[in-house]
Structures are given as structure tokens and as C-alpha cells.
């Protein structure tokens, strides 16, 4: 991984020496991406800045790279995994001179012109200057794993791996695109398909399309796009393969991709969640990487942390449980530093934990420069089929996908759409809405939506969280051969192969134990323990009298677009009950307000940012025997001793319902916050009735006629939510 930046005149002129200062500032803005080396070049109309993270051929892989005759100059960020295979196809006089994986691109360009990326496997962003043709090329890999942004005016183009490099140019606009952000499906989360190009979130800043070469004539600024790869067409299925042959081919391709992603002259690690994707990488790895697992309230509850350890033990891999206890709340400055690193309003809890994992790795194991990830498996291989089915199996999953596709037609035909909007059981057939539209395969649209999602969210945040610590994220599941195979499963075989990722899971038989290969999918931090995560980030927004929220709401455009009273009310609800909503939605609008101000007055570059303490590791010798201690450490749970005296908080009242003797209403600050049904939790209702602030826990349990195990979880939650307090007993009178 490296940092790219630069500028070029597009009016036929040459850069002046004044450009050197700008190049230096742009390089500094992306130094975190490449801390090992920095090179600047200004020649004629082009200025290039390159910062290097050396994973392959650290001694001889410096950039820019030149053709033998000096007519082609290239800087690249990423890895060309099949560079040796490609080099072997070149004429003897055109072979690379060193071990750099990217040098082969220069020779391929001289041999094939704009077809030079057709056979390249890897992840990359490329800037290539053809001096002979006086043209500048920008190019990205097929999934946009590596970023490349640009801004153009009438006389020049500026470009960089991150937008903060472009903002170093005073002529580059710094206006947040509020309308585009608020309308984007990735932000508002409406269950509908979108295939539009990923957004940069800022007006006037473009993002080179994935699978595309952008060509700019430096004589007159004329621009062309050459698309060298498009998402595979499920309408052209692989009918030549049986289900068993699909599984066999997928397994072979995946093993080859893991091997390619491990190619490095530096140490490579693995983020191990305990799910089938990262477990599969652990099973197939030949470099025996150190593994790292996030241990927080959510991953404790959904068992990701435990399974991460178990998978590592099964393969004899070192596993580091990186601790995030529920009391660890990011400061406002930490959040703003993370947001500026990301440059995306989608910054949220998942990204925070990923970033902190990388910080731990960088501090403890600086020799690790690459990280294997399980990302990208779910999107194209049935990873969302089970949760999207609502428990109804493949048929219901397909029906739900069909309903998502229908939403486009609902927007297009507002009059007829009323039949769907006003009734749970529409009396008009869906075909009426689709009249005049081309026939569609809704599952194909689902895949294309996920292709956009991978670019807008997954690849963006995986790249940035790793880059912030000078580490390169590598994603074996985003090998285009795997995605092409998955997308072309014939309709008749989809249920057999796509449902619940059967093509991957069944292919791991004999490689990965059944308990790991067939473990149900759980999201990174959602599930039973999500309230712990939500409480953490609600506390961050509410710290110092809602300081971070108030700052986000204070900008001129934020005042125009955001309802400040509702934002504060939403925060209060999340504080009172973390399950009352999704903290991510509040964070997204907060992020927009903060980014608006950051763009106007850019913060210090990430390499200069001040971060909090590096997370600690929680050593675990035996998970089963230490589970109680692990839970107590992560959740910071009070020790429920018999002598403690529970009492209602002074802001809380408990009221009965005269019409139903089993109902109780918990009133917090004058409003009903919780309803307790004695029919569902009889012991809990009786215990609350007995709470008087005088009797200790043992006495209350006796009065309620229940055991601690029956009410323990509810008791702890009530303390965490501030409904109950626990106090030591008053000392006996002398």
C-alpha cells in the first residue's frame, strides 16, 4: 500500500517551480499510507508525489517506475498478485528489472496500450504518464479496493489517494454535497436497489471508476474512459457446470486467491472474527499468520470473540483478543480524527473497532505490514440470504429481493403505487407496475447493488482503517474470478449453491471443522449485545453536555438541513434505551456536520493526529473456564453480592396498572420508558415490587421467591441503564 498524489497541467503548459511546495504538502497529507519512503517528481506538465509502504521487494521497489526509454512514468498503490506470470508473457527485452510487482505494468502498457490491465489480478490505483502521447492515465482495480480521487478545473487536474491531498490545493472546492449525501441509499438505509456510481460526498471531486482507465490529453484536456472490466452478467450463466463442479472450481479459485494475497516480503496478519469467511482463510493460509479478534460487548454476546479464539486454536495460530470494554468511550477528538481519516459520513462503530484493531497491531507488531480480511464474501455468494429471508428459506429470500426490485417501479408510477402503500395485501398485480419496463432478474439487480455497496462502504473503510496505521488490507474474496463464478450460477442451481453460502461452506469439507464451516452468520457487532455498542457511542455524543453533537449542528449548512431538536431527542432516547433506535443514523448526520467544517479548515494530516491510548489485549488461556471473568472484564458488570442494597434511581418511579395486576410501568423523568409484564417475567416483577432501598439482594430474592439466575440479566441491565442503583449496606449502629 502506498500514497499517491499529484497534479498536471491540461492546457498544454508546464508546471512552474511553485508546484513543488504543493506536491510536498500533498505527499505529507498521505504519508500515513506510505511511511517507508517519499519521492517527488516535477517534469513538464506533470508533478507526482509518492509515499511507499514496502511489502514486495523493499530494497528495489521504489517509485516512480520508468520504461527503459523513459517515455512512460508510473506510480501505483496496491499489489499485482500475478506479476511474475504476466512478466513471463513479455518479450525478453521488456521484462522487469527488479522484483517490484508493479513494474510489469509499465511494460504491459508499452505492449498493449489501454488493454494493459485486462489480465492483471490484484488491487491497485495507478497514475501513468505517457510522455510520448502527452496523456495522463488514472486506473483502478475491478472492485475499487484502492482509491483514487481527482478534481479538474480549466487548466489543471489534481489527484490523490485521499481527498485530503486534493484539499491542499487552494483551487480545489471544499463543499460538502448535502443533497447527494442525504439522498443516497447508503446513508438513509431504505431497502431499495441502487446502481449509481459511488459518491465522494464532496462537490467537484471525482472518483475514478472501478475497472476503468481514465485518459486525459494534457495538450487540450480531452478525456476518454476505457472500461476494461464490468460486473459479470448473471444473464450469461455457466450452464456447463454441475453443482459439484461449481463447488470444486470455487474452492480451487479461493485457495489460489488466498495464496496470492499472502505474497509479501513483510509479515502478514489476519483479522479473525470466528465466522466462516475469516476461518476459511485461516484454514488455507500457508504463512501461519498472527490473528486478531475484537473483544467487546457485542462480539462477546454473539460469540464472535470466542469462535475467533477457537478457530485460531484449531490451526495452532496465535490469537490476540483486543479488548474494548463497555467503559471505553471515544473522545470527541478521537472521533474527529477517525472521521477525517475516513472522509466519509458512513463512519460508524464497525469502523472505529477496525481502526483500533489496526492501532493495536501497529503498536505491538510493527513488522506486520499486510492484513488478510474476510470481507467481500457475503455480498456475492449468498451471505445475506438467510437474514434477508426472515426465516422463510430461499423462496422467501427471493420474494423479498423481488419486492426490493419493485420499489423502483413504485417510485416511477406513483398513482398505481398507492395500491401497495395503502394495503398489506395489494389487490393489483406487480406486473401492472412493471408495464413498459424491460424484463429484469431481481437477484441480478441485488448483486449489482452489492457491487456498488462494496465500493462505497466496504473497500473504502477497509482501505482507510488499515492505511491509518501504515498497513495494507488484503481481501482474498474480492478476486474477480470468484465473483464471476458466483454471479453466473444458473437460476436452477441458486438455491443449492447460493443459499447460506453453500458453495463456500460445502467446499470446506475436510479443510475446516463442521462447527466452523457451518456456523451461522452473525454481523460484526450486531445481535444480542448491540446495546453495549450503542450505549458507548451515545455516551460519546453526549459527553461534555452534547459537545460533539452541538459542534456538528453548528455549521451553516447543518443548520439548514438538520433538525437540531430531533437530533438531541434521538440522543436522549438512545441514552435511556440503547435499543430504541440505530445509533448509526444519528452518527451519519453528525458526521456530515463535522465534515462540512473539517473541509473548510482541514485538520492536521493523519500522520500528525493525536489518538487515545492503544487498546490492550485480554490474555485468555482457556475460554470455557475463564468465560465468567471475561464477561465481567468486558461488560464491567457489578458483582451481585447478597449484601448489596438495590434501590430505584431518584429519577425513576414504578407504577402498577389497576386494570392488569401483572403490568408495571417504569417511569423515568416523568415519561414511561419500560413496561414489565409479570406474565413473561414473574420473578423480575415481584423483585421490583419488593425494592424499597432498605432490603439487600438476598432479602429481595427471598421476598420475590426466585433465584438470582432467573433475574440476573435483567438486574444487570437495569443497573447499566440507570434504573436501579446498587449500594453497600449501611454500617450497623454502634
Q: What percent of the chain has pLDDT over 90?
A: 78
Which of these three, 585, 606, 634, is where a domain ends?
Answer: 634
Considering the domain architecture, whether residues 105 and 252 belong to the same structural domain is answered as no
pLDDT single digits (tens) 380-391? 999 999 999 999
Q: Are 66 and 106 in contact (CB under 8 A)?
A: yes
Q: Report how far residue 290's alpha carbon sits from residue 294's, in angstroms, rounded to the nearest whole number.
A: 14
pLDDT of residue 627: 92
Other C-beta atoms closer than 10 Å to the C-beta of 511 total 14
* pLDDT score of 702: 95
Please tell me the distance from the alpha carbon of residue 348 to that of residue 591, in angstroms, as a whole number: 9
Q: How are the residues of the chain apportioned to helix, strand and coil, as percentages rounded to the nearest 5?
A: 45, 15, 40
Pairing mode, strands 319-323 and 291-295: parallel
Strand ranges of the sheet holding 156-160, from the earlier edge strand across to the other edge: 37-43, 46-52, 2-9, 156-160, 149-152, 206-207
* Same-domain check for residues 434 and 452: no
CA 38/CA 62 separation, integer angstroms: 9
Q: Is residue 465 part of a domain?
A: yes
- The angle subtended at Cα 273 by Cα 272 and Cα 279, nearest 5°, is 60
Same domain flag for 273 and 406: no
CA pair distance 434, 455, nearest whole angstrom: 29
Q: How many domains does the chain have?
A: 4
Q: For residue 107, give the H/E element and its range.
A: helix 103-112
Residue 433: φ, ψ to 5°:
-70, -30
Query: Model confidence at 644, in pLDDT bands (50, 70, 90)?
Result: very high
Distance of alpha carbon 237 from alpha carbon 636, whole angstroms: 53
Burial 628-659 (b: 16+ CB within 10 A, else e): eebeeebbeeeeeeeebbbebeeebebeeeee
Grid cell in block for residue 73: 512514468
SS3 at position 522:
coil
**Residue 593 within any structural domain of the chain:** no
Same domain, yes or no, for 420 and 482? no
Q: Are residues 79 and 131 in the same domain?
A: yes
SS3 of 656-722 = EECCEEEEEEEEECCEEEEEEECCCCHHHHHHHHHCCCCCCHHHHHHHHCCCHHHHHHHHHHHHHCC
> Is 653 within the bounds of a domain?
yes
DSSP three-state, residue 86: helix
Helices (H) and strands (E) in the chain, counts: 31, 22
Query: Is the domain of 49 the same as that of 69?
Result: yes
Same domain, 89 and 163: yes
CATH number, residue 722: 3.90.930.60
Q: Is residue 531 part of a domain?
A: no
Residue 441, all three cell numbers? 432478474
Termini Cα distance of the chain: 71
- The predicted pLDDT at position 524 comes to 59
Q: CA 370, 326, 345 angle in degrees (round to 5)?
A: 60
Q: What are phi and psi of 668, to 5 degrees?
A: -120, 120
Say whether both 137 and 88 belong to one domain: yes
Look at residues 112, 45, 30, 20 and name the one whose alpha carbon lies nearest to residue 77: 30
* Final residue before a domain boundary, out of 406, 424, 447: 447
Q: What is the pLDDT of residue 415?
A: 79
| Cβ neighbours for 612, distance < 8 A, ≥ 6 positions apart | 330, 331, 334
For 133, the grid coordinates are 502521447
Q: What is the CATH number of the domain that holds 387?
A: 3.40.50.620
Query: Locate cell 456538528: which residue?
Result: 552
**642 within 8 A of 630, measured Cβ to Cβ:** no
Q: Is residue 320 within 8 Å of 269, Cβ to Cβ?
A: no
Domain-embedded: residue 186 = no
pLDDT in tens, 532-579: 888 899 999 999 999 999 999 999 999 999 999 999 999 998 988 887
- pLDDT tens profile 116-157: 999 999 999 999 999 999 999 999 999 999 999 999 999 999
Give the pLDDT band (50/70/90) at residue 59: low
Please state, as a whole number, how many other Cβ atoms lie within 10 Å of the Cβ of residue 134. Answer: 16
Do you find a cis peptide bond into 405, omega within 30 degrees of 0?
no
Q: Which domain holds residue 357?
A: 235-334+344-392+448-524+616-634
Q: Of 223-227, 402-406, 704-708, give the lowest mean pLDDT range.
A: 402-406
3-state secondary structure at position 321: strand
Is 734's pLDDT higher than 70? no
* CATH code of residue 38: 3.60.20.10
pLDDT band at 99 (very low <50, low <70, confident <90, very high): low
Final residue of a structural domain among 415, 432, 447: 447
For residue 28, being part of any structural domain is answered with yes
> How many Å apart are CA 629 and CA 620, to the nearest integer?
10
Which neighbouring-strand residues pair with 79? Answer: 123
**Together in a domain, 474 and 422:** no
In degrees, to the nearest 5, what angle opens at C-alpha 28 toward C-alphas 25 and 34? 145
Global pTM value:
0.90
- The answer, yes or no, to whether residue 60 has pLDDT greater than 70, is no
329 and 221, same structural domain?
no
Kind and range of the H or E element at 38? strand 37-43
Same-domain status, 15 and 95: yes
Dihedral sign from CA coordinates of 106, 144, 123, 235? negative
Per-residue cell: 637: 458488570
pLDDT band at 528 (very low <50, low <70, confident <90, very high): low
Q: Which residues are catalytic?
A: 2
Element at 249 (helix H, strand E): helix 243-261
Does the pLDDT of residue 526 top 60, yes or no?
A: no
Is 21 a domain residue?
Answer: yes
Q: How far apart are CA 166 and CA 347, in angstroms?
A: 20
Task: Enumerate residues 6+ apart whose C-beta is below 8 A from 119.
Answer: 82, 86
What DSSP assignment string belongs to 632-650?
HHHHT-----TT-EEEE-T
Query: 201 and 178 in contact (C-beta within 8 Å)?
Result: no
Mean pLDDT of 155-166: 98
CB within 8 A of 197, min separation 6: which ones?
Answer: 207, 209, 452
Confidence of residue 408 (pLDDT cuts 50, 70, 90): confident
Regarding whether 49 and 23 lie in a shared domain, the answer is: yes
**DSSP letter at 457?**
I
Residues of the chain with pLDDT > 70: what percent? 97
- Has residue 365 got a pLDDT over 60? yes
In a domain, 13, yes or no: yes
Tell me how far apart the alpha carbons of residues 94 and 111 are, in angstroms, rounded to a whole number: 9
Amino acid at each position: 500500500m502506498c500514497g499517491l498524489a499529484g497534479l498536471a497541467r491540461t492546457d498544454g503548459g508546464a508546471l512552474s517551480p511553485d508546484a513543488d511546495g504543493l506536491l510536498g504538502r500533498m505527499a505529507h497529507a498521505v504519508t500515513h499510507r506510505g511511511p517507508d519512503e517519499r519521492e517527488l517528481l516535477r517534469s513538464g506538465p506533470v508533478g507526482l508525489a509518492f509515499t511507499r509502504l514496502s511489502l514486495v521487494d523493499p530494497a528495489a521497489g521504489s517509485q516512480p517506475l520508468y520504461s527503459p526509454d523513459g517515455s512512460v512514468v508510473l506510480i501505483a498503490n496496491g499489489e499485482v498478485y500475478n506479476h511474475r506470470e504476466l512478466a513471463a508473457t513479455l518479450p525478453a527485452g521488456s521484462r522487469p528489472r527488479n522484483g517490484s510487482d508493479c513494474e510489469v505494468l509499465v511494460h504491459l502498457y508499452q505492449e498493449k496500450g489501454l488493454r494493459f490491465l485486462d489480465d492483471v489480478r490484484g488491487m491497485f490505483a495507478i497514475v501513468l504518464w505517457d510522455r510520448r502521447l502527452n496523456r495522463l492515465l488514472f486506473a483502478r482495480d475491478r472492485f475499487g479496493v484502492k482509491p483514487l480521487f481527482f478534481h479538474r478545473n480549466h487548466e489543471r487536474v489534481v489527484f490523490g489517494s485521499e481527498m485530503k491531498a486534493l484539499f491542499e490545493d487552494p483551487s480545489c472546492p471544499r463543499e460538502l454535497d448535502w443533497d447527494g449525501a442525504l439522498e443516497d441509499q447508503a446513508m438513509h438505509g431504505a431497502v431499495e436497489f441502487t446502481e449509481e456510481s459511488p459518491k465522494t460526498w464532496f462537490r467537484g471531486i471525482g472518483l475514478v471508476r472501478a475497472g476503468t482507465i481514465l485518459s486525459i490529453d494534457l495538450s487540450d484536456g480531452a478525456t476518454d474512459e476505457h472500461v476494461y472490466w464490468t460486473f459479470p452478467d448473471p444473464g450469461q450463466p455457466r450452464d456447463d457446470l454441475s453443482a459439484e463442479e461449481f463447488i470444486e472450481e470455487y474452492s480451487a479459485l479461493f485457495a489460489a486467491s488466498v495464496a496470492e494475497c499472502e505474497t509479501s516480503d513483510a509479515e502478514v496478519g489476519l483479522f479473525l472474527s470466528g465466522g466462516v469467511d475469516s476461518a476459511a482463510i485461516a484454514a488455507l493460509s500457508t504463512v501461519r499468520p498472527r490473528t486478531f479478534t475484537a473483544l467487546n460487548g457485542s462480539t462477546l454476546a454473539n460469540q464472535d470473540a470466542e469462535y475467533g479464539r477457537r478457530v485460531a486454536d484449531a490451526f495452532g495460530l496465535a490469537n490476540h483478543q483486543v479488548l474494548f470494554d463497555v467503559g471505553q468511550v471515544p473522545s470527541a477528538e478521537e472521533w474527529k480524527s477517525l472521521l477525517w481519516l475516513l472522509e466519509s459520513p458512513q463512519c460508524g462503530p464497525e469502523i472505529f473497532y477496525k481502526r483500533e484493531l489496526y492501532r493495536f497491531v501497529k503498536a505491538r507488531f510493527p513488522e506486520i505490514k499486510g492484513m488478510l480480511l474476510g470481507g467481500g464474501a457475503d455480498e456475492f455468494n449468498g451471505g445475506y440470504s438467510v437474514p434477508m429471508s426472515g426465516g422463510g428459506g430461499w423462496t422467501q429470500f427471493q420474494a423479498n429481493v423481488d419486492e426490493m426490485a419493485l420499489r423502483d417501479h413504485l417510485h416511477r408510477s406513483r398513482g398505481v403505487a398507492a395500491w401497495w402503500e395503502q394495503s398489506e395485501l395489494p389487490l393489483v398485480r406487480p406486473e401492472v407496475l412493471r408495464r413498459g419496463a424491460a424484463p429484469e432478474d431481481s437477484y441480478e439487480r441485488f448483486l449489482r447493488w452489492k457491487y456498488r455497496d462494496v465500493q462505497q462502504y466496504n473497500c473504502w473503510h477497509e482501505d482507510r482503517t488499515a492505511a491509518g496505521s501504515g498497513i495494507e488490507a488484503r481481501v482474498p474474496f474480492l478476486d474477480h474470478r470468484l465473483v464471476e463464478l458466483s454471479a453466473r450460477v444458473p437460476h436452477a442451481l441458486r438455491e443449492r449453491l447460493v443459499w447460506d453460502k453453500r458453495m463456500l461452506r460445502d467446499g470446506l469439507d475436510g479443510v475446516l471443522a463442521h462447527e466452523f464451516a457451518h456456523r451461522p452468520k452473525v454481523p460484526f457487532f450486531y445481535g444480542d449485545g448491540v446495546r453495549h455498542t450503542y450505549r458507548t457511542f451515545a455516551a460519546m455524543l453526549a459527553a461534555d453536555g452534547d459537545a460533539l453533537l452541538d459542534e456538528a449542528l453548528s455549521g451553516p449548512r447543518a443548520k439548514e438541513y438538520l433538525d437540531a431538536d430531533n437530533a438531541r431527542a434521538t440522543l436522549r432516547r438512545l441514552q435511556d434505551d440503547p435499543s430504541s433506535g440505530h445509533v448509526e443514523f444519528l452518527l451519519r448526520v453528525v458526521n456530515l456536520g463535522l465534515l462540512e467544517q473539517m473541509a473548510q479548515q482541514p485538520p492536521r494530516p493523519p500522520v500528525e493526529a493525536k489518538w487515545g491510548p492503544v487498546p490492550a489485549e485480554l490474555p485468555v488461556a482457556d475460554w470455557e473456564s475463564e468465560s465468567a471473568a471475561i464477561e465481567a472484564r468486558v461488560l464491567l458488570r457489578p458483582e451481585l453480592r447478597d449484601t448489596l442494597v438495590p434501590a430505584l434511581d431518584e429519577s425513576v418511579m414504578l407504577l402498577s396498572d389497576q386494570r392488569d395486576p401483572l403490568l408495571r410501568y417504569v417511569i423515568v423523568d416523568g415519561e414511561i420508558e419500560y413496561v414489565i409484564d409479570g406474565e413473561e417475567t414473574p420473578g423480575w416483577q415481584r423483585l421490583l415490587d419488593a425494592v424499597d432501598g432498605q432490603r439487600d439482594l438476598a432479602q429481595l430474592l427471598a421476598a420475590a421467591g426466585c433465584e438470582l439466575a432467573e433475574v440476573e440479566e435483567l438486574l444487570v441491565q437495569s443497573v447499566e441503564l440507570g434504573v436501579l442503583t446498587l449500594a453497600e449496606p449501611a454500617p450497623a449502629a454502634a
